[in-house]
Structure 1
C-alpha cells in the first residue's frame, strides 16, 4: 500500500514474505503460517485496464491462476471454494484476499494477497481441515521458486481477464468446489440444504433450494 500511496507502484510488483504474524482472511479470520514454509505473496495489480469490469472478476482471475498453479504440482481433486479459497479434496490449501484502491469512484489499483500451504505440516487448532503441498506429495518444495512460478500464472490469468473476461468466469465456475452438489449453508441462525450452481461476475453464489437464490460474499456461512 505504501508504494501506491507514494506513487512508486508498478503493475505486477510482487512481494514475498518469509513470515506472516498478522495475516487475515475472509470475514476477519486469521491466516496463521510457519516461518519459511509457505507462499506468502502480495502482488500489485494496475486495475485501470479492467476498471469497467465487475471487481469480482479480478478475484475470479486470481483464483483460477492459483488453482492452475497448484494443479501443476498436485494434479487431482483441486478446486476453488467460493469466494476464493484453494481446496484439495475437502481440505484448505490456501486463500486469496484482495484489497481494492479507489481514487474517488475510480478503481485504480488492487493488492492481491495470496497464502498457500507448501511445506507446513503442523497447524494451529483454530484452522479447520488444512493441508499443504508437502502433505499431498510427500516431499519438500522451495516456496520462493514456487512463488516465482505462481507469478507467471497470475500474469497470464490477468492478461486473459483483460481481453476475455467471460472465459475467466467460465473457468472459475468449472473448478468451483461442490458444484452441482448438495451442501449445508447457514444464514443468520437458519441452516438449509441447497445445491451449488454457480458464481456470477459480481461474486454472488447461486444455489437451488426450494427455488434458485443468490447470496453475497459474507452473507452466509458454509457448514458442510
Structure 2
C-alpha cells in the first residue's frame, strides 16, 4: 500500500484520478492531505475542512472487475469500513445515511465520494474519497455536523486513524472479491439510518410523503415502501428526508 502525503491540494479525488490516468498505481494507493481546499461531495456539494484537524484522503482500488449493477457493494464496503472504525472510538448512535454519509446522533461526522471507471459493463477501478471530521470542534454556523473530538472530548491521532481506516477498507473490500455480496448488504441495511422506520420524505418537486426505507435497488437507488405496500425507487437527487 502506497501513501502519498501532501500539505495542501484542491481535491484528493481529483489528484488521484489524474495520477491514475497517467501512471500505473498499485491497489490501495492513497492520497492524503492536511489541507483540502476544494473537497467535493455528493451532488457537487463542497466539503470544508479545517487544516491539520481532520482526515481528507482518497484511495484507489484497482482491477475490481464486477458488473456495473453491483456498484452499490463498493458503497456498502466503504461505508461499513468507516462505521466499524468509528464504533471502536465509542461514537454515540452511529448510523449510515444513504448513500454513504456517517452520522452520530443525526449529525454528519463523515462524507464519502466514490468515483468508478468502467470497461464495457465492468467496473475497472474505484476511487473512494473520505472526509472525516476528527479534531475540529468549530463548524461556524453549521449545527448538523460533529467530529470525533466533539463526541469523545478526546483528540485522535490522525496517522493511526488513517491506518485503521485503510486496513478496514481492505477487509471490507475482500468481501466483494470473495463474492460475499449478501453479507455486505445485510450489514449495511442493519446500520442504515431510518431503515424500516416510518419516515417523512420530500421529493425534488416538493411533494412530502410517508414511507419506510426497505432496501437498495440494483442501481443503488433507495427503495421506499409506501403505506399501500407499493415500493418506489429514488435516486440521490430525487428525494431527501423531510425537515
Query: TM class, shorter-chain normalised?
Result: over 0.9
Q: Which residue of 2 aligns with 1:114?
A: 130
Q: What is the TM-score when the length of structure 2 is the normalising length?
A: 0.85
Q: Which residue of 1 aligns with 2:213?
A: 196
1:182 offset after TM fit, Å? 2.2
Find the aligned partners of 1:218 and 1:7 in 2 and give their Cα distance: 34
Q: What SS is found at the alignment partner of 2:139?
A: coil
Q: Which residue of 2 aligns with 1:219?
A: 238
Gaps of 5+ in 1: none
1:106 offset after TM fit, Å? 4.1
The structure 2 residue matched to 1:208, chosen from 200, 225, 229, is 225
Q: Which residue of 1 aligns with 2:14?
A: none
Find the aligned partners of 2:176 and 2:103 in 1 and give their Cα distance: 22
- Report runs of 4+ in structure 1 exceeding 6 Å deviation: none
Query: CA contact under 8 A between 2:65 and 2:123: conserved in structure 1?
Result: no
Find the aligned partners of 1:101 and 1:181 in 2 and give their Cα distance: 35
Find the aligned partners of 1:14 and 1:185 in 2 and give their Cα distance: 37
Q: What SS is found at the alignment partner of 1:48?
A: coil
Question: Cα deviation per residue 1:141-162 (whole Å; 9 max; x = unaligned)?
Answer: 1112201110001000000121
Higher-RCO chain (CA-CA 8 Å, sequence separation at least 6): 1
Q: What SS is found at the alignment partner of 2:64?
A: helix
Question: Is residue 131 of structure 2 the alignment partner of residue 102 of structure 1?
Answer: no
Question: Is residue 160 of structure 2 the alignment partner of residue 145 of structure 1?
Answer: yes
Query: CA contact under 8 A between 1:16 and 1:144: conserved in structure 2?
Result: no
The structure 2 residue matched to 1:63, chosen from 64, 68, 79, is 79
Find the aligned partners of 2:220 and 2:68 in 1 and give their Cα distance: 16
1:174 offset after TM fit, Å? 0.7
Q: What SS is found at the alignment partner of 2:115?
A: strand
The structure 2 residue matched to 1:185, chosen from 188, 201, 205, is 201
Find the aligned partners of 1:23 and 1:151 in 2 and give their Cα distance: 19
Gaps of 5+ in 2: 1-16
Question: Is residue 169 of structure 2 the alignment partner of residue 154 of structure 1?
Answer: yes
1:30 offset after TM fit, Å? 1.3
Find the aligned partners of 1:142 and 1:223 in 2 and give their Cα distance: 36
Question: Which stretch of structure 1 is more off in the superposition, 83-92 or 41-50?
Answer: 41-50
Q: How many residues align?
A: 223
Question: Is residue 28 of structure 2 the alignment partner of residue 35 of structure 1?
Answer: no
Question: Is residue 186 of structure 2 the alignment partner of residue 170 of structure 1?
Answer: yes
Question: Which stretch of structure 1 is more off in the superposition, 148-157 or 70-79?
Answer: 70-79
1:50 offset after TM fit, Å? 2.9
CA RMSD of aligned residues (A): 1.7
Find the aligned partners of 2:182 and 2:61 in 1 and give their Cα distance: 19
